[in-house]
Amino acid sequence: MLTLTAKSSHSRPYMGNSLLYQIALTLLPQVGAVTARTLVGYCGGAEEVFRAPRRELLRIPGIGPVIVENIRRAGDLMKQAEAELHFIEKNGISAVFYTDSRYPARLKQFADSPILLYFKGSSIDVLHAPRIVSIVGTRQPTDYGRAVCESLVEALQAYQVVIVSGLAFGIDATAHRKALSANMPNVAVLGHGLGCIYPAEHRQLALRIGENGGLLTEFPFQAGPEREHFPMRNRIIAALCDALVIAETATSGGSMITANLAAQYGREIFAVPGRLNDPKSAGCNYLIRTQKATLLESAADIAESLHWSPPGQTNAHQPEIFPNLSPDEENVVNIIRQHPQIPIDELSAATAYSPGQLAALLLNLEFRGIVRTLPGKRYEVVR
């Protein structure tokens, strides 16, 4: 059995430090999110992975000799993990493992989501907001693209939405800046660690985002903005939201990757139409034409699709036991009440909502303590 009891230059013992082992797990070669979950599921925790005997590790499906040897020779990884731990403690960063209650519920449901997130900002609760819209687009927007993006963010303010984007030049930065000017919380998802900001020109913007929202990444602090990191960043942008908006884009690039990921995750996708034969709108027009995205004319289109009502709006026909339910929320609650512990597939079959619409309704009801998720993706009414 591998025993890690040595002390580092910071005089912190390895034994018993769960976060240290969680960080080390993310650093293991040839171990991605799915394999890491398998290891934790069989061993019982990150620390137990590194303490398990070789023969037990080899019994785990999908775990071969190479991965086992990487786990057994984890001394250097522990040094890297301790450097990461020192960095996050020094800089007030939250590190959230996927088994932690602070881990975003929207991400947790996907097998390929990061097993560990690093967050720097005012409050990690922003990741649990009832309404989140991600906005992405070209790095070289037209005046039209910027204007539409700004108008949309401003209109979404009435729905108490958190804005998510990727801190890139162009549409991303436009969305972040407009959210800040409207005093709306927003989150920048990074394609690198928190030891740097990319692009460097957005350092001050990132600092402002951290004051009313935060910076989110799955990468350790020394990781730079490598090309392969950005598609990984895009999957968080796609999964963290209720709706993804493509404000302006060509037919290839990061925004189209994000749209495809959002479709896989069952998110509602909206695209802003552009002029015919305009290369910077060709991607949006393609998504609309192929029915991969809904044509977006205003924030009301998103609110209608996701069954959002502006704050303060009520419905006289809602039951008193659950005040302020929309008709669609009331419909979902009634179905769950009639079929306690109903599986998600049966609930989906009993409604006419798309997967994204149903997910948004259930998430809102969970946040308000009206329904809860049981093991096996089953649902029941709380009261």
C-alpha 48: how far from its chain's center? 27
| Residues 138 and 78 placed together within one structural domain of the fold | no
Last residue of a domain, one of 275, 305, 335: 305
For residue 372, what is the domain's CATH number? 1.10.10.10
**Which of 42-68 are b and which e, b meaning 16 or more Cβ less than 10 Å from the residue's Cβ?**
bbebbbebbbbeeeebeebeebeeebb
| Residues 160 and 264 placed together within one structural domain of the fold | yes
Residue 15 lies in a domain: yes
Distance between CA atoms of residues 60 and 62, nearest Å: 6
Residue 112 lies in a domain: no
What are the pLDDT digits (tens) for 259-288? 999 999 999 999 999 988 899 999 999 999
Distance between CA atoms of residues 338 and 335, nearest Å: 5
Distance between CA atoms of residues 200 and 206, nearest Å: 10
Residue 317 lies in a domain: no
Residue 316 lies in a domain: no
Residue 220 lies in a domain: yes
Backbone angles phi, psi at 374, to 5 degrees: -110, 165
Q: Which of 30-34, 193-197, 203-207 has the lowest mean pLDDT?
A: 30-34
Q: Which of 107-116, 121-130, 159-168, 337-346 has the lowest mean pLDDT?
A: 337-346
| Residues 150 and 298 placed together within one structural domain of the fold | yes
For residue 215, what is the domain's CATH number? 3.40.50.450
Nearest to 196 by CA among 213, 212, 219, 173: 219
Last residue of a domain, one of 254, 274, 305: 305
| Residues 150 and 291 placed together within one structural domain of the fold | yes
| Residues 16 and 156 placed together within one structural domain of the fold | no
Residue 313 lies in a domain: no
| Residues 35 and 125 placed together within one structural domain of the fold | no
Percent of the chain with pLDDT over 70: 92
| Residues 154 and 263 placed together within one structural domain of the fold | yes
| Residues 27 and 173 placed together within one structural domain of the fold | no
pLDDT value of residue 8: 33
Structural domain total, the chain: 3
Residue 231 pLDDT greater than 50, yes or no: yes
What are the pLDDT digits (tens) for 162-186? 999 999 999 999 999 999 999 999 9
What are the pLDDT digits (tens) for 33-44? 999 999 999 999
pLDDT value of residue 270: 98
Range of the domain at 58: 1-90
Q: Which of 4-8, 47-51, 299-303 has the lowest mean pLDDT?
A: 4-8
Residue 61 lies in a domain: yes
| Residues 273 and 157 placed together within one structural domain of the fold | yes
| Residues 333 and 225 placed together within one structural domain of the fold | no
| Residues 220 and 276 placed together within one structural domain of the fold | yes
